[in-house]
């Protein structure tokens, strides 16, 4: 059945595996996060990488987000196609093919990109100036994750100066992502470590401001740290993404958000009295933080996980689940799960209310 | 750039990350496997799940494959769309939605499915008989993987009898997959264990034949075991898939096949003197068996892997790799890598010769 024909049908008529989105739970998450940022100095710029769905991104904008964050240029193009203009690509856009696409995007939206090298800055400037557009730039600062980014202090200041001196670019500020500690299980430990990690980022802001260069945006944070990073003086924007749909890895430390997404699966085999094999595996479940958990079936758990298209659910004694029965599971990682699907089956009270394309799925380029 | 415009262009003009397929290496793999099965009792029915590309599946048919194996009904539909008729869906097709699709597929192709429960067999029979089609059936036997399948011997015999007794179904034979030992690193250990695992499958064949029920197909095997399972009397078909494109997990134990697929990436950051961050991570690399390896760059290795869109390559002393430079990496698992892309960039001597849709990508249903 064509998915759009599903609207108004019960979930029982949805083929499996499908990625379900509970509309009420998702909206409650959006509202809760919006309330947190209401009246605060820091603003929310939700990360698209978590759900990759522009329909959902537009709801986030309606709930007060100042713009959208994304990881890839292809995601930014999908957002622009959906009418969203203020887009942070929180990564380096490198090489002539990508930069030509970025310049084209700047004609129909207001993209902002991260940089961490002088070569990249010079190439961006040349292309933007030649095309007569302005690209907004954040200098990425390494605050302990040791992935991309220059060191805080003088190295960041020098790049800021370079950006400011070149045509076609606008220095907007800094980005520093505490990804190495964003999901620490212990809240007290997370709070202490995140504050310490963000300190050199804010100090770098002050250093740059001290030479008379305005810093408009300092961006960082995630779902695990929105109340920590989002509460720090000197932080302007938080890039939280997972809060909208959630996963069990974040649910364990962020119980204030509801579990809005799940994977609907069908039992295809009952190999033993207490095992039910369902029709989804690694190709449909983001599992970097552990195997999926079973929803609405107390005592059931996933002990065997690893096949591409199968997951074995271990049932508690006395639980029946026939071949053909339905099970919902919650992935440990929502961001890598949504990327495996092409659409969200949006539902309310067990009935499909809409089907939203996951238009950022596979947009790695 | 539209991908089809890439034909005739050098790889330097291909955007990243992209999934590359070396046409010569792939064809050499197809030829080598075809030669192995030439004149043997066992035949090759390559598994589509590894590359999910019907253009490649058609080349496998041209190289002598008796049909194609796939994991999902959606993959089978993609194969039928590409003109392939003899398709084994090596899984249980369960529930009214799926069975209706299977019956529809049986009108335009000759699908064969695995079963392991009486309920499923009865539903398949009812639907097929009502529609006036015949579905070909293999009984799946558990030979130690402990996923799906009934036990060897009488339980399998009983299902075979049931299939034979019902309208709309044709009992074709048995399937047993030695997935738990298919990739054992030690060849001698693999050989001994695989022979032991396949023994009860072949004995079940003889048991069923002993009551006068013909067994046309006993199917099993993979790239790690094609010379073991494919050499056993009583085995008719081998389901190897990875051999066509390969990955490093299989390359380590199957050096006779060439590494035909790689991921082309761009260096976006040089955070330290010996580190280069490239623009692909978990969302573009199947990594269940370990982080990717670096191709054509001796001494370079991946120590840090885990980000969704980044991989950090550690460079040997003295190696230069500028921001904007290109790197190719080899995933540990090809089957979950191809599923993350939408097309193969087919190349020969550094020039793009074709772009093949990965038409099975995301076809989980």
B219-230 residue pLDDT tens: 999 999 999 999
Instruction: Identify the pLDDT of residue A236.
Output: 98
Question: pLDDT-based confidence at A331, cuts 50/70/90?
Answer: very high
Instruction: Identify the pLDDT of residue B3.
Output: 80
Chain A nearest-CA residue for B180: A307
Instruction: Identify the pLDDT of residue B320.
Output: 86
Give strand pairing partners of A174.
Answer: A139, A218
Environment class of residue B317 by beta-carbon count within 10 Å: exposed (0-12), middle (13-18) or buried (19+)? exposed
Give strand pairing partners of A340.
Answer: none
Q: Chain B, 154-193: which have a CB under 8 Å from a chain A CB?
A: 179
Instruction: Identify the pLDDT of residue B331.
Output: 98
d(CA B77, CA B73): 6
Structure tokens at B342: 């939408």
Question: pLDDT-based confidence at A2, cuts 50/70/90?
Answer: low
Q: Which residue has the tokens 């990350």?
A: B17
B76-103: average pLDDT: 98
Chain B nearest-CA residue for A343: B362
d(CA B166, CA B5): 53
Q: Cα torsion for B13, B16, B17, B19, to the nearest 10°?
A: -10
Question: pLDDT-based confidence at B16, cuts 50/70/90?
Answer: very high
Mutation target to probe the A interface, by most A beta carbons within 10 A, among B3, B69, B75, B94 is B94
A17-21: average pLDDT: 98
Task: Render pLDDT for A193-219 as a digit per residue (tens, 0 to 9).
Answer: 999 999 999 999 999 999 999 999 999
B82-89: average pLDDT: 98
Q: Is A322 on the interface with B (CB under 8 A)?
A: yes
- Answer yes or no: are the C-beta atoms of B139 and B159 closer than 8 Å: yes
- Answer yes or no: are the C-beta atoms of B25 and B244 closer than 8 Å: no
- Answer yes or no: are the C-beta atoms of B147 and A277 closer than 8 Å: yes
Those residues with Cβ within 8 angstroms of residue B68's Cβ, 6 or more apart along the chain or in another chain: B45, B46, B47, B48, B57, B60, B61, B79, B84, B86, B87, B88
d(CA B240, CA B49): 10
Question: pLDDT-based confidence at B2, cuts 50/70/90?
Answer: low
Note whether B364 contacts A336, CB cutoff 8 Å.
no
Residue A270 confidence (pLDDT) above 70: yes
Nearest chain B Cα distance for residue A270, angstroms: 7
- Answer yes or no: are the C-beta atoms of B198 and B157 closer than 8 Å: no
Structure tokens at A133: 């557009």
SS3 state at B147: coil
Instruction: Identify the pLDDT of residue A320.
Output: 86
Nearest chain B Cα distance for residue A15, angstroms: 6
Give strand pairing partners of B347.
Answer: B22, B352
Those residues with Cβ within 8 angstroms of residue A298's Cβ, 6 or more apart along the chain or in another chain: A316
Note whether A15 contacts B266, CB cutoff 8 Å.
no
Average pLDDT, chain B: 97
Nearest by Cα to B30 from B216, B295, B226, B220: B226
Dmax (CA) for chain A in angstroms is 72
ipTM over 0.90: yes
Strands of the sheet containing B86-92, edge to edge, are B43-44, B237-238, B217-220, B169-175, B135-140, B110-115, B86-92, B68-70
Give the closest of B179, B268, B335 to A94, CB-based: B268
- Answer yes or no: are the C-beta atoms of A175 and A114 closer than 8 Å: yes
Give the closest of B270, B282, B365 to A16, CB-based: B365
Is residue B17 reached through a cis peptide bond, with omega within 30 degrees of 0 on the bond before it? yes
d(CA B332, CA B242): 11
Chain B nearest-CA residue for A335: B308
CB burial readout B137-154, b (16+ within 10 A) else e: bbbbbbbbbebbbbebee
B51-80: average pLDDT: 98
Q: Residue by residue, what is the 3-state secondary structure of B249-283?
A: HHHCCCCCCCCCEEEEEEEEEEEECCEEEECCCCC
Q: Is B268 on the interface with A (CB under 8 A)?
A: yes
DSSP assigned state of A4: G
Nearest chain B Cα distance for residue A213, angstroms: 25
Task: Render pLDDT for B168-213 as a digit per residue (tens, 0 to 9).
Answer: 999 999 999 999 999 999 999 999 999 999 999 999 999 999 999 9
Residue A1 confidence (pLDDT) above 80: no
- Counting every residue written for chain B, the total comes to 365
Q: Is B362 on the interface with A (CB under 8 A)?
A: yes
């Amino acid at each position: 059945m064509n998915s759009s024909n599903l609207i108004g049908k019960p979930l029982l008529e949805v083929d499996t595996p499908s990625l379900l989105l509970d509309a009420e739970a998702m909206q409650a998450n959006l509202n809760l996060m919006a309330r947190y940022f209401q009246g605060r100095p820091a603003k929310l710029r939700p990360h698209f990488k978590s759900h990759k769905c522009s329909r959902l991104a537009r709801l986030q904008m309606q709930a007060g987000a100042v713009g959208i964050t994304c990881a890839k240029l292809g995601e930014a193009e999908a957002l622009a196609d959906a009418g969203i203009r203020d887009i942070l690509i929180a990564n380096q856009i490198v090489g002539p093919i990508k930069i030509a696409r970025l310049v084209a995007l700047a004609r129909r939206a207001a993209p902002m990109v991260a940089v961490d090298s002088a070569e990249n800055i010079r190439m961006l400037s040349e292309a933007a100036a030649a095309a007569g557009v302005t690209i907004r730039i954040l200098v990425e600062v390494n605050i302990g994750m040791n992935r991309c980014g220059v060191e805080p202090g003088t190295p960041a200041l020098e790049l800021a100066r370079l950006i400011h001196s070149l045509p076609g670019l606008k220095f907007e500020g800094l980005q520093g992502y505490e990804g190495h500690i964003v999901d620490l299980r212990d809240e007290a430990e997370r709070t202490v470590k995140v504050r310490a990690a963000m300190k050199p980022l804010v100090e770098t802001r002050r250093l740059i401001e001290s030479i008379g260069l305005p810093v408009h945006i300092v961006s960082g944070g995630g779902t695990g740290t929105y109340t920590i990073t989002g509460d720090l003086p000197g932080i302007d924007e938080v890039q939280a993404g997972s809060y909208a749909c959630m996963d069990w890895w974040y649910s364990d430390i962020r119980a204030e958000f509801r579990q809005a997404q799940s994977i609907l699966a069908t039992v295809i085999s009952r190999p033993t009295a207490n095992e039910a094999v369902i029709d989804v595996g690694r190709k449909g479940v983001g599992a970097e933080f552990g195997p999926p958990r079973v929803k609405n079936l107390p005592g059931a758990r996933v002990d065997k996980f690893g096949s591409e298209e199968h997951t074995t659910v271990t049932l508690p004694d006395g639980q029946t689940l026939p071949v053909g029965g339905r099970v919902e599971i919650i992935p440990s990682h929502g961001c890598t799960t949504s990327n495996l699907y092409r659409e969200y089956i949006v539902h309310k009270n067990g009935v499909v209310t809409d089907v939203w394309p996951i238009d950022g799925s596979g947009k790695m380029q």
